[in-house]
Amino acid sequence: MIIPIMIGLTIAMVLSWFLIPNKLLKITLGTLSTLLLLASALALSAHLNSHWGMKEVTDTNTSNSIYTAAQVDSPVSILVTQEVGTDSNNYVLVYRDKKTDEKAEAHFAPDKKNIVDSVKKTATYKVANVTEPTIVTTKKTWTWENETFKKLFEVDDETDNELISEETLVTVPQKTWLAMTADQSKKLAEKQKSADPKALQAQQEQMKLVISQKVKEFMMKNPKATQDQIKEFTEDQTREMTMNAIKKMIE
């Protein structure tokens, strides 16, 4: 609406200054239309430059829909990371949205068809002392202060909810997850594929023996331990040894 108003005020200003013969009326209407046109221009400039008439809205969404990028039956979950650019702290992250998904998918890749919004979006990750993985997305947008400002400045529907920034933080438990780069993931897959089946089986048998011995020692030190505690200890040891083995393979 602001553009038609400015056009109307421009016409009124021209008519007032050049076509009204009465001097007093000319000065009065000419000055008024000029001031209103100037005020409209300043208002439009303030809206375009500082989003005057709009307010910043922050929306935070937390999700736990993240599962390993590796085999789902592995005791260690994998998060594959690929930094966008250099030292950007902005990543494409690969994981499953559901445990039943056949393959892991890449998330937070820049949308080349919408560069304007893509540069406002970032995603990063951290491995922390938490019990479950989370995806926290903080989205900031511009929205109208009220209907009056909306009617005055809105050009099309895209003006409302204009994206300011969208920051996503993926946090995975250090006890059960391992983050690795895309190159490390590729290296791990190649080593697993080329591994000698007999050597791999021998390694697994050795791991079982070591874990079994550790469980016996745990039970001797904790004679009152429940079956759940013994199971948890066994799972922890299996996970720890598997994680160490994976780390050695991607070094």
pLDDT one-digit tens code per residue, 93-106: 999 999 999 999 99
pLDDT confidence of residue 59? 96
CA angle 190, 177, 136 (to 5 degrees): 120
pLDDT one-digit tens code per residue, 173-183: 999 999 999 99
- The answer for 51, left when phi > 0, alpha when psi is -120 to 50, beta otherwise, is left
Counting residues of the chain whose pLDDT is more than 70, the rounded percentage is 98
pLDDT confidence of residue 186? 92
Whether residue 118 is predicted with pLDDT greater than 70 in this model: the reply is yes
Whether residue 155 is predicted with pLDDT greater than 80 in this model: the reply is no
Whether residue 164 is predicted with pLDDT greater than 90 in this model: the reply is yes
- E-strand spans in 84-133? 91-95, 105-107, 121-128
pLDDT one-digit tens code per residue, 205-241: 888 888 888 888 889 888 888 999 988 888 888 888 8
pLDDT one-digit tens code per residue, 59-88: 999 999 999 999 888 899 999 999 998 889
**Average pLDDT score over the chain:** 89
pTM greater than the 0.75 cutoff: yes
pLDDT confidence of residue 158? 54
Task: Band the pLDDT of 159: cuts 50, 70, 90.
Answer: low
pLDDT confidence of residue 156? 66
Counting residues of the chain whose pLDDT is more than 90, the rounded percentage is 45
Sequence-separated (6 or more) residues with CB below 8 Å from residue 233: 214, 215, 218, 225
Tokens of 190: 């190649």
pLDDT confidence of residue 140? 95
Residue 82's beta-bridge partner residues?
92
- Mean pLDDT across 108-115: 89
pLDDT confidence of residue 153? 83
